[in-house]
Structure 1
Amino acid sequence: MRIAILGHVRQRIAQPFAGGMESHCWHLAAGLQDRGHDVVLFASGDSDPRFPIDPVVEQHYERTFPWAEHRGSAPLIAHLDAGYAAACDRIAAGGFDVVHNNSLHRFALEPARTMVTPTVTSLHVPPYDALHWFVRSSRSPHHRLTVTSARQHDAWWPEGAPAEASILHNGIDPARWPFHAEGDGTAAWCGRITPNKGPHFAVQAARRAGIGLTLCGPIEDPEYFEAEVAPLLGSDIRYAGHLEGDALARAIGQASVFLFTPCWDEPFGLVAVEAMSCGLPVAAFAMGAAREIVGEAGAYAECGDVAGLADAISAALAIPRDVPRQRVLSHFTHDLWLDRCEALYAEARRGDDRMAA
């Protein structure tokens, strides 16, 4: 198939990944290419040149508009609207069999567009006002909607989801996150360093549990890092930087337990799955989809409960390392995910009118 992948343009689709959405989009493009599909990545022009790129904007928007997050800036909205309008027009004229929309932009959801190019839209975030109405009005026979967890399925459609919506768990390549039979007695944490990811809670709980901790990931909120995380660093707590590829897998895989501390309605938790593939049991805040994704491979505390998280670290360390690895192999592999994507593409192209169901 000739497939357009429409990405979010806040960050580059390239390693080291800024977050789960960028990782998802990169591995989707790479996986579909490996399966023989003709893939064009519609993303920022500074994304990974290994892919054929049709730029939505010339460079990711946090370089052009350096804010920590989208805050309703009129110039930024106009910039993104112009880029996505032109990109969607090029997709419509480009002879694509299907578009996999990961953009979180309203234009790709319009029924007039999905009737021209069959579309699968993956929603990687909880419902929010700027997108919620457009998702609800996007129903068409050639459009499929996915969310990453049952938790998000219920959040987007508390009254009951439409027939064309389904759960599409993210998947990873276990070979990129190899199993380690033993850990070194320390803990690991990985993610965007920002308050809603809770790394300061991970540090506090590790100290309380008497275990060393390595933090990895991009510093998205420098003020938060300097105020809440940096003062806690020391010989037992270290920040290893924003690592990529094999270096990140080694840093995570050598640890004995992974700390997962979402302080928001986490839609999935890709970093936890990557750590589980390496054999790490998880001590987690029970927020968002954490229990659903980690399951029997973890122990849990309520969000913000440092003492409870320290207890969860002790409980997680007692879980055999083959338990998290097997959970990944059974539920969250790259091949399972890509199989499901291809099935959704076929549904969208057929145009099954399931809306009457």
Structure 2
Amino acid sequence: MRILYVAYPLHHVSDASAGGAEQMLWTLEREMHLRGHETTVAACAGSRVNGRLFSTGDIPTQSDTFEERNREHHAAIRSLLASESFDLIHDKSGSFFASAADVAVPILATAHLPRSFYPGVNWHVLGHNINVNCVSATQAHTFADVPNLVGWVQNGIAIDRFKFREQKDDYLLWLGRICEEKAPHLAIEAAKRSGNRLILAGQVYPFTYHEAYFAREIQPRLDDQITFIDSPTFDEKLDLLSRASALLIPSQVDETSSLVAMEAMACGTPVITWRRGALPEIVADGVTGYIVDSLEAMVSAISDVSRIRPEACRARVEQHFSASRMAADYAAVYQRVLGRSIGEAA
């Protein structure tokens, strides 16, 4: 099968990507390439993929240039489609599908974000060539009325790339995209109240409100106890995850999934998370970490984290969140999408 993967236009696709959608694209494309499919990834120049990279342009050097860059991204993809044929387009950009009703190729659009994060999309008038999937049962429930919904596929990770480590160091970890809804400021507060060292690691995306949040809420609070690692490499991320005593996820939005929670558990590291969205589908409360409803409960859970067995964390990921399982599930969805397309053409 010839598959075109469409990435988010502002960031590289690589195993070191800060965004979950970019990480998931990298992992899924790797699995499909290994299964013998001919994969092309439309993404920013400098991305690292396993099949072929089709560069749609450079990452912008200025903030707040999404609309301009997105137009360039879409134009490049349409140029590619005019010169080459594909069996399927898997859109993980969050935007291409919304203006692609005229594209003569079946499209699977993965909704990585909560439904409220797509204010400009009318899910009830999508083109017949466009199919939608979610990434968790919780998220799929909120998309249940969408006519083109073809189901949901739980995310997965390449477990073999995450080293299990039973012995942990004496620091907490927050890892991801630096923005207010991901709430690293609450991770800082939990670390301060519990008296623990905290490492924040991630990337500030090129939006003024993200940069302002970092300057206002994070940077002034960095000190010997609270440290920040900007845009860690995959090896740096792996080292941080495997040695942390716990990963904190104080997210203030209804998360549709959490790759970083899967990655931490694969390393044997417990996860302490807010009870938001699909996070309870991933973290087994009292087994692979703790699910909490307040900052006070997060602080209390930090003191109990030594009760979580690292082996149980790893076992849950091996059982539920492998990349091979995810790829098999997507292969089935791809066939469903292609079958639907053939049926409509007839």
TM-score by length of 2: 0.88
Give the conservation status (yes or no) of the 8 Å contact 2:131–2:148: no
Tell me the residue number matched to 2:6: 6
1:33 lines up with 2:42 in the alignment:
no
Aligned partner of residue 325 in structure 1, secondary structure: helix
Matched residue count: 337
Residues 1:244 and 2:241 are matched in the alignment: no
**The residue matched to 2:138 in structure 1 has which SS?**
helix
Tell me the SS of whatever aligns to 2:232: coil
State the SS of the aligned residue for 1:136: coil
- Aligned 8 A contact 2:98 2:126 in 1: no
Q: What amino acid is the match of 2:35?
A: R
Match of 2:134 in 1: 147
Whole-Å separation in 1 of the counterparts to 2:72 and 2:201:
35
1:301 equivalent in structure 2: 292
Rounded to whole Å, the distance in 1 between the matches of 2:343 and 2:6 is: 24
1:209 maps to 194
Unpaired runs of 5+ residues, structure 2, are none
Does the C-alpha gap of structure 1 residues 288 and 41 become closer, same or farther in structure 2, counting only changes over 3 Å?
same
C-alpha distance 316-289 of structure 1, shift in aligned 2 (>3 A): farther
Deviations 1:189-248 (A, max 9, x none): 101121111111111112212222211111333332233223333333222332111221
- Structure 2 residue 264 is the aligned partner of structure 1 residue 275: yes
**RMSD, aligned CA:** 2.5
C-alpha distance after superposition, 1:236-267 (max 9, x if no partner): 32223321112210111111211111112222
Structure 2 residue aligned with 1:328, among 297, 312, 317? 317
Identity %: 27
Classify 1:43/1:322 alpha carbon distance in 2 versus 1 (closer, same or farther; 3 Å): same
Q: Are 2:6 and 2:93, in contact at CA under 8 Å, matched by a contact in 1?
A: yes
**CA–CA separation in structure 2 for the residues paired with 1:99 and 1:234:** 46
Aligned to 1:73: none
The offset of 1:49, in angstroms, is: 6.8
Q: Secondary structure at the match of 1:132?
A: coil
Per-residue Cα deviation, 1:295-330 (whole angstroms, up to 9, x for no partner):
33221222xx32221012223432211222111111
Q: Name which of structure 1's ranges 321-330 and 287-296 shifts more when overlaid on structure 2.
A: 287-296
| Letter of the 1:340 counterpart | D
Q: Unpaired runs of 5+ in structure 1?
A: 71-75
Structure 2 CA distance, aligned partners of 1:353 and 1:35?
Answer: 23
Question: Are 1:284 and 1:301, in contact at CA under 8 Å, matched by a contact in 2?
Answer: yes
Letter of the 1:104 counterpart: G
| Structure 1 residue 232 corresponds to structure 2 residue 231 | no
Structure 1-normalised TM-score? Answer: 0.85
Shift of 1:162: 4.0
Tell me the secondary structure at the aligned position of residue 329 of structure 2.
helix
- Mapped to 2, the partners of 1:242 and 1:17 lie a distance apart of 8
Paired residues of 2:183 and 2:250 also in contact (CA < 8 A) = yes
